[in-house]
Each structure stands twice: as structure tokens, then as C-alpha cells.
Amino acid sequence: MRVLLLEDDVALSDLLNEHLEDKGFDVTLCTNGQDALESLIDQKFDIALLDINTPEISGIEVLKTIRKEYKNNTPAIILTAYQDTKHLKESFENGVDDYIKKPFDLEELDQRILRLCRQFFINQDDKIKIDENIFFEPQTCQVFKNDKIINIAQKERDILKYFCTHKNRVISSDELLQNIWAYDEMPTDATIRVYIKNLREIVGKEKITTIRAVGYKFE
């Protein structure tokens, strides 16, 4: 699992980086907000841990920019020494998924990360129920339909997992691009349409609706 860590306190960043790597995570450590923003734009991460009070750009500004300008919905946790509700409110208004006040135990961080993994089906072996006869297993890139096993491509798996995590709302092609592909591997719209067509043939055309000139809706 790939984790972006934005933390400018040297002692804390070293501690968190070592702890996360010991847990088996692939950590990208940033000590200023600009580097974190560029990394989140150019690369694909499973979770972002963002300190608020960081050089150049604050963690909240990083979050606000990726959410509003880049439609990037990487699950994010704010880490902060602020104890007021103002920063808490601002973080959630800009799309944060969780919020931890410093100082915190490493076990608390582990549990918060685990909760997001469950919520967003990150590194989960459990099957996802699509309907009574269709189940999806992201880890193996397999869909189980009427007791038949269907193998799907990795990007089809990523798209279907994103749809399952964001059911019943319209998702644009740009949002899929930002949350599934790294900057240097961006596909064409035609490629995305092929992936969507293949998924429709597997899960049913009625499950993935095209919203003209806007995007797709998974129901």
C-alpha cells in the first residue's frame, strides 16, 4: 500500500516513516506542502497523511487543491497539533476523511488507517457484493457471477473498485483519471470507454449509466 506522508517535524516524520514502513507500507515522505501536492498530482497513492502547519503550502491547502482542482479523492487523514474546531471544520469542508489531533498513539493511527482501508476497499481480501448474484474480489481481479469466475484486467479492477466506493454519484472521466492513473500513464477517453464497455458486459449495462457530457453513475 502506497502512503504519502506530509510532516515537517523531523523527529515525528522519522518516527512515522519508520513505523509505517515496518507495517509494510511504501511511504513517500514530504516535508513541505508543495512537494506533497506535486506528488499527489503525479503519482497514485492509497492514503495521504497530511500535517496542517507545513512550509510553502499547508496540508489543508494541499487537500483543497487536489479535491477541487484535480478531482483527486485519495483517502486522507489530517494530522495536527491544533486543538480548535476551526481547523477541524475547514478540513472536513475540504474533503478530509479523518482527523487526528497530536499527540497521538501509533496504535490510534493504525486503527484510523485500517478504518479507511475497510471503507475504501484498500488491500482487502473480502468480496464486495454488487448484487445478489455478482461479487467482486479486488485482490484477485475476479468477478464471481452466478458461480462463474470472470478474470478482469487490473485497470478494470481499479475502475470497478472506485465505482463500488462511490456508488450512486456521477463520476467524470477526469475523476477516474486522477484517482486511478499516474500522470505519466494517462489513457485516452477512448481507452476508458473500452474499460467501461467491458465492465458493463460483466456486471450488467444497467449498473453503469452514462450521464451525457458529465460522466458515469454506478448503481
Q: Is the pLDDT assigned to residue 126 strictly greater than 80? A: no
Q: Which of 27, 24, 68, 19 is nearest to 45 (CA)?
A: 27
Q: Pick the closest to residue 161 from 121, 102, 218 (CA basis).
A: 121
142 and 176 housed in the same domain: yes
Q: Is the pLDDT of residue 76 over 90?
A: yes
Domain closes at, from 93, 119, 145: 119
134/143 Cα distance (integer angstroms): 7
Query: Which pLDDT band, with edges at 50, 70 and 90, does 124 fall under?
Result: low
Q: Which of 119, 145, 165 is the last residue of a domain?
A: 119
Do residue 87 and residue 157 come from a single domain? no
Non-local CB neighbours of 142 within 8 Å, separated by 6+ positions: 136, 149, 150, 151, 152
* Tens of pLDDT, residues 18-42: 999 999 999 999 999 999 999 999 9
Instruction: Determine the length of the chain.
Output: 219
CATH number at residue 174: 1.10.10.10
> What's residue 123's pLDDT?
76
> What is the domain count for the chain?
2
Q: Are residues 40 and 137 in the same domain?
A: no
Note down the domain range covering 65.
Answer: 2-119
Final residue in a domain of this structure, among 119, 154, 183: 119
Per-residue pLDDT of 162-208, as tens digits, reads 999 999 999 999 999 999 998 888 898 899 999 999 999 999 999 99
CATH code of residue 59: 3.40.50.2300
Identify whether the C-beta of residue 49 lies closer than 8 Å to the C-beta of residue 2.
no
